[in-house]
Structure 1
Amino acid sequence: SGSKDKREYFRWHYAHEIVKIAKEKGKAIVIEGLEIKEKGKRGDFSGRKSRRIRHSFSYKSLLSKIKTLAKREEIEVIEVNPSYTSIIGMLKYAPQYMITKDIAAAYVIARRGLGLQEKIPDNYIKFLNALTVEELEELKEYVKKTVRNKHLREKHIKEIKKAIKFLQSLESKPGRVLEPLDGTSFSTYDFWRVLKVAVVTPLSPEKVRRDFSALKELLIQGKWGGP
């Protein structure tokens, strides 16, 4: 159909533009990998996001065209683990550079392509060290009372319960200092997930938040107010 042909045309057009920019700048192209082998490390690539990307013909078709054109131009295409790119982007780079969470996620993807690690900022670590199970329990009750959408309310409560369980698992650690380092039994992703629950959920429990500038004081100055 005409609509289908039009979509196909634009996919080729965008692929050409992306490869053209990469060639002009002499850079590789970094994209999210679609295959996730480690079930326990899906992060924010599970659920709706996973289904949207995995089953989106347009997305797969665009990536295929980018790879085809890049190979023709001898431009490297790097596929990276997509786990938690959105969460890290919204918490670390969106407030820091006053950009949207989508651009911030792209920034994380690009950094992974360079082999860079995402260290949790010091003020976030301090916040996590001070966070208590009681505060998360209060947040859970707050969500129960304020969020009218049943699906969203249940989603928040499920995430909060996971965060509570994770904090409880840390209580046996001396001083309960959160240091997500290689070699520990915890993944850095666990800390990012708890951080998202503790700071993003209170800010916007009833809708998807677009502006993360409110996190800048916590990120830069270590200042934070509860719900």
Structure 2
Amino acid sequence: MITLQCLLEFQSEGDRREVLDLMRRFSSAERYGYQRLLEGWTREELKKHLTQVFQINTRYADDAVLKASGILSSCRKRGQNPTKVVFGGRGLFEKLKKKHLNGPRREELEREWKEKRQGNLYSRGDRSKRGNLNLRFVWIEGELYLRICVGERRWVYAKVVRPVKREGDKWIGFVWDLHQAERTGKWFPYNVELKLRDGEVYAHVSVSEKFPPTVITPENGVIGIDVNAYPFHLALAEVSRDGNLVGYERISLHEFLSADRDKREYLAWQVAYWVVGLALQRSRAIAIEDLEELPKGRRGDGFPKLRQKLQRWVYRSILEKIEVLAKRHGVAVEKKDPAYTSVIGKLKYAPQYLIDKDVAGALVIGRRALGFEEELPEAYRCLLRDEEFLLYALAELEEKVKKLKRELKGEENEWRRKAIKARLKATRGELKTLKAHLRALQSGEGEPASQRSPADRRKEPVRGRLSGRRKSWRVLSAALTVPVLEKFSHVKGTVRDFSPLRPVLVSGDWERAVRRPVPVPGAGAAVQVV
């Protein structure tokens, strides 16, 4: 969808006041409908109720419910409390709460608050209704007007003021499409939303964008993209058509942390242009994560710095811009389920290619877009049947639980205690997973599902085997992360070095991995820990 803006010029002050009153009633219906949705009302019963209470037609009432449900859905996807939504903007609300604010500055903020809270009107497009039923563009004596339905068979006509700003302005194409629809009768749907800003009424028109044919497909290979909050960056992996890693790049996003909303939007487009430019240069399609929701943390979880990054996380905006820009240039975009891509990447490809887990995750996303299944390597499958190793890993996890309990007992800072509790909970989860696997192995219930199929087959995954395969990866992660990668005290925070897994991956030699040389600060060379 592309959105275009134009100014509306009313023929009389009476017309303007009538439209502003309709915008006020629609905005009230939207807020009222949002509260009723929280209470569990259905769309149909709410539509009838809004029509009677706010004296708007059923189409406007349904659109008000649609807008309210969109806000509710978006709020839930972001992990925010839907009961805390502030219509009109929380920023303005917080400023107006300050009692010392007065005079012209307060009057300006109150006007802006009122406009944002009460100055909205929306009508969705409909092909069968000549493009839009309630807010329709019409031609009168060669000039473009917006016909606004303000009552039963009553309309207000507002002249559209929109100069062409530059060559290639998409407004030219939209006006041309309106001319063609008027001439041929082949209408297209367009959504229209009216907004009041600085005393003027603006119309925001959204239409489906027409994309050129796709010329760069996954048959040429892909560029897999993995989004990461720590460090704050995008990881890109160039994957050949046979599933091998060709090269990789990283794009830092730290500049987003100190930028305001407009600058973040600009930076997101810059990133999108860079990624699509790389795809065009290498003739590769793009593979991204199909992310629905990313937890942004909660106050008091013990991880304030990470939460600050997540709250300003623009992953969805960046991926959407990459997708749109790629389609404009004929580059195919594959959206894939991101489940277990990080686990598979860090355990299988990070030690194999000696790359970090983020690039390895991007590689898995790229391979998944090419249709490759990720099977456990033979050495890992043997490891999951090695009872001696599993008992060793179990002991290491139990020791970590004891260590975290001691830290928790000796820590007095409330916020640090919460961070320790989070790590303790995660470690207990890994311990539970490993114990369940060990019990199943000792009872002879079976072996990893991935053992029963050839490795790395290029086809669509089979749903029945997928859960078993993912369970094997989860067990393997619990067995290797703490016992091997976090074995020594020099590891702080997130593990970034996965080279110790290489002897395990190649030959299954886990004993060599746990006795690996460890760097000692100030000692120069690595020393052997016995």
Q: Give the whole-Å Cα distance in 1 for the aligned partners of 2:506 and 2:259.
A: 51
Q: Give the whole-Å Cα distance in 2 for the aligned partners of 1:119 and 1:178.
A: 10
The answer on whether the counterparts of 2:397 and 2:482 sit within 8 Å (CA) in structure 1 is: no
The answer on whether the counterparts of 1:123 and 1:221 sit within 8 Å (CA) in structure 2 is: yes
Amino acid at match of 2:273: H
Equivalent residue number for residue 99 of structure 1 = 355
Equivalent residue number for residue 42 of structure 1 = none
Amino acid at match of 2:423: L
Q: Structure 1 residue aligned with 2:402, among 139, 145, 148?
A: 145
Q: Structure 2 residue aligned with 1:204, among 483, 486, 495?
A: 486
Question: Is residue 2:417 matched to residue 1:160?
Answer: no
Instruction: Indicate how the Cα distance of structure 1 residues 184 and 70 shifts in structure 2: closer, same or farther if over 3 A, else same.
Output: closer
- Secondary structure, in 3 states, of the residue corresponding to 2:335? strand
Question: Is residue 2:473 matched to residue 1:192?
Answer: yes
Equivalent residue number for residue 283 of structure 2 = 26
The alignment's C-alpha RMSD in Å is 3.0
Amino acid at match of 2:290: G
Q: Give the whole-Å Cα distance in 1 for the aligned partners of 2:312 and 2:447.
A: 42
Which structure has the bigger radius of gyration?
Answer: 2
Amino acid at match of 1:7: R
**TM-score, scaled relative to structure 2:** 0.37
Equivalent residue number for residue 365 of structure 2 = 109
Amino acid at match of 1:161: K
The Cα shift of 1:169 comes to 3.7
Equivalent residue number for residue 178 of structure 1 = 448
Equivalent residue number for residue 81 of structure 1 = 337
- Secondary structure, in 3 states, of the residue corresponding to 2:314? helix
The answer on whether the counterparts of 1:30 and 1:77 sit within 8 Å (CA) in structure 2 is: yes
Amino acid at match of 1:192: W
Higher relative contact order (CA 8 A, sep 6+): 1
Amino acid at match of 1:163: L
The answer on whether the counterparts of 1:29 and 1:76 sit within 8 Å (CA) in structure 2 is: yes
Amino acid at match of 1:162: T
**TM-score, scaled relative to structure 1:** 0.82
The answer on whether the counterparts of 1:53 and 1:59 sit within 8 Å (CA) in structure 2 is: no
The answer on whether the counterparts of 1:136 and 1:198 sit within 8 Å (CA) in structure 2 is: yes
Amino acid at match of 1:18: V
Structure that is richer in strand per residue: 2
Count of aligned residue pairs for this structure pair: 216
Gaps of 5+ in 2: 1-257, 298-306, 408-419, 453-461, 516-530
Identical aligned pairs, as a percentage?
A: 37
Q: Structure 1 residue aligned with 2:503, among 212, 217, 225?
A: 217
Q: Give the whole-Å Cα distance in 1 for the aligned partners of 2:296 and 2:343.
A: 14
Instruction: Indicate how the Cα distance of structure 1 residues 2 and 150 shifts in structure 2: closer, same or farther if over 3 A, else same.
Output: closer
Q: Give the whole-Å Cα distance in 1 for the aligned partners of 2:465 and 2:277.
A: 43
CA shift digits 1:47-103 (9 cap, x unpaired): 96xx99997661111111111111111211100110011110000011111101111
Q: Give the whole-Å Cα distance in 1 for the aligned partners of 2:427 and 2:505.
A: 23
The Cα shift of 1:171 comes to 4.5
Q: Give the whole-Å Cα distance in 2 for the aligned partners of 1:2 and 1:87.
A: 32
